[in-house]
Amino acid sequence: MKYEEEVISSKEVYRGKIIRVEEEQVKLPNGEKAKREIVRHHGAVAIICVTAENKMIFVKQWREPMQRVTLEIPAGKIEVNETDPKRTAIRELNEEVRLHPESLELIADFYTSPGFADERMLMYFAHNLQPVSEELPQDADEFLNTVELTLEEAKEKIKSGLICDSKTIMAVWKWELLELRRS
């Protein structure tokens, strides 16, 4: 079976600072035409941080698209000038939780909304976290606090809805998987 769509034409219909939107005309495998709406995003990283006391670190912040406070694992956009996503992860960890990892292990590489966006996210596990020697300035429009939770507490926060995004639920499930495999 042929799956591939062929781009006939592409038009940028919105250009913001974080996202661009394109409308594509495509030729379907059967020769018919269809329209696709695609959000272009430069990509992001997210980091699983487990402390020496076996607690996971979350960032408490306001999320304007959902009009609510959430608990999420540290994460952030890859800036246009950043070519190594591990550098992005180290920067975000410094800005958001003031910690520096000895090493970062790639846990997952995925698209967040494959139906309408090309945002790709790299998820790392941070090993041997230490306080940073030099604090980077925080983003002027970010107001956040960090929260540390045990696995059971984190699972409770998923149930109560304070943890409510895919990457953070993934992080908690991966943490539980690692714990179960160990036992």
Nearest approach in angstroms of CB 149 to a copy of itself is 17
Neighbours of 24 (CB within 10 A): 15
Contacts of 1 (CB under 8 A, 6+ apart): 29
Exactly one of 135, 156, 160, 161 binds a copy of itself (CB under 8 A); that residue is 161
* The binder of a copy of itself chosen from 43, 87, 91, 117 (CB under 8 A): 117
Per the CB < 8 A criterion, the answer to whether 130 and 86 are in contact is no
Q: How far is residue 109's CA from residue 167's CA, in Å, rounded to a whole number?
A: 11
Q: Does 66 bind a copy of itself (CB under 8 A)?
A: yes
User: For residue 117, what are the β-bridge partners?
Assistant: 39
Residues of span 4-63 touching a copy of itself by CB under 8 A: 4-5, 7, 13-14, 16-19, 21, 23-24, 26, 28-30, 32, 34-39, 41, 44, 60-63
Tell which one of 9, 11, 31, 64 touches a copy of itself (CB under 8 A). 64
Q: Which of 144, 149, 154, 162 binds a copy of itself (CB under 8 A)?
A: 144
Binder of a copy of itself out of 128, 138, 145, 150 (CB under 8 A): 145
The CA-based diameter of the chain, rounded to the nearest angstrom, is: 59
In single-letter form, the type of residue at position 81 comes to: N
